[in-house]
Amino acid sequence: MKYTCITILFVVFSIGFFSCKKEKPNTDTPIIGTEDNPITDFEGNIYKTVKIGTQIWMAENLKAKFTSDGTSVSEAYVYNNDESYLQNYGRLYTWEAAKKPYIEGWHLPGEAEWDILETFLGSDVAAKLKVGGCSGFEAKAGGYRDYWGGYTELNLWGVFWTSSIYTADHSFVRNVFTFNNNFEHSGCGNIAGNSVRLLKD
C-alpha cells in the first residue's frame, strides 16, 4: 500500500507538472521577415528585399551612384574611398543625396515609418535588425563619413538616414551597433555620410 500511494502521488504530480508546462503561453515568438521580390537600380545593382509587417524594406545598404533617370550623384561615397567596400557595405550619402530617387517606387523613409518598423518588432529591436537577426533586415554596420571627409566605425556602427528634419542643418538617423543591442534615434549633420535603406512606396 505504501508503494502504491507513492506511485499514485508521482503520477498525479507528473500529470500536473506537464499540464502546466504545456499550457504556459509562448510570449517570445520571434518576428520573422519574409523575403520579397528583388529590386534593381540604374547601374544594375540587385538588392534583396524583406517584408516586415506591412512594410517592404531593402535588406541591403544602397550602393547607387546614379538616380533612376541616370543622373550622377556626387555626394555618394564608399568607405575610405576604397571601392572594395562597396559590395558589402554600400555607399555613404549626405542627407541631400540620400533623398534622391534611386529606384522607382521606393523612397527614403521618415521617422514615422521607422517607428512603424520598431513598434512591429517590439522588444530587442536592434538584435532583430542586425545581421543574422530574425527580421531579415540585415542592418550592415557600414560606419560613416564625418564632416571633414574622414571615415570611421566600419563594422561597429550602422547609421541610417531618415527623411525627417531635426534642425536647420541636422536630420534624424537611426543607429545600430555591433557591440550592443541599443537602437538609438539621434540627429546628424546633413553633410555627414551615412547608410541608406529604401522603403517601398
- Residue 18 counted as domain residue: no
Q: What is the pLDDT of residues 98-136, one digit of tens each?
A: 999 999 999 999 999 999 999 999 999 999 999 999 999
- Residue 146 counted as domain residue: yes
Cell of 91: 555607399
- Residue 140 counted as domain residue: yes
Please enumerate in sequence order all residues whose Cβ is within 8 A of that of 90, keeping only pairs 6 or more positions apart, or say none: 60, 61, 62, 63, 140, 142, 195, 196
Cell of 89: 557595405
Domains held by the chain: number: 1
- pLDDT band at 32; cut points 50, 70, 90: confident
- Residue 103 counted as domain residue: yes
List strands edge to edge, sheet with 183-189: 151-154, 142-145, 157-165, 170-177, 183-189
Distance CA(8)–CA(147), nearest Å, equals: 75
- Residue 4 counted as domain residue: no
Provide the mean pLDDT of the chain.
88
Backbone angles phi, psi at 76, to 5 degrees: -130, 110
Average pLDDT over residues 146-166: 98
Residue 78 sits at the vertex; the CA angle it makes with 71 and 162, to the nearest 5 degrees, is: 70
- Residue 71 counted as domain residue: yes
Burial of 68 (0-12, 13-18, 19+ CB in 10 A): middle
Q: What is the pLDDT of residues 169-180, one digit of tens each?
A: 999 999 999 999
Q: What is the pLDDT of residue 159?
A: 98
Whether residue 27 is predicted with pLDDT greater than 70 in this model: the reply is no
Alpha-carbon Rg of the chain, whole angstroms?
A: 23
Whether residue 18 is predicted with pLDDT greater than 70 in this model: the reply is no
Average pLDDT over residues 185-191: 97
Distance CA(6)–CA(154), nearest Å, equals: 64
- Residue 26 counted as domain residue: no
Question: Which structural domain range is residue 156 located in?
Answer: 34-200
- Residue 169 counted as domain residue: yes
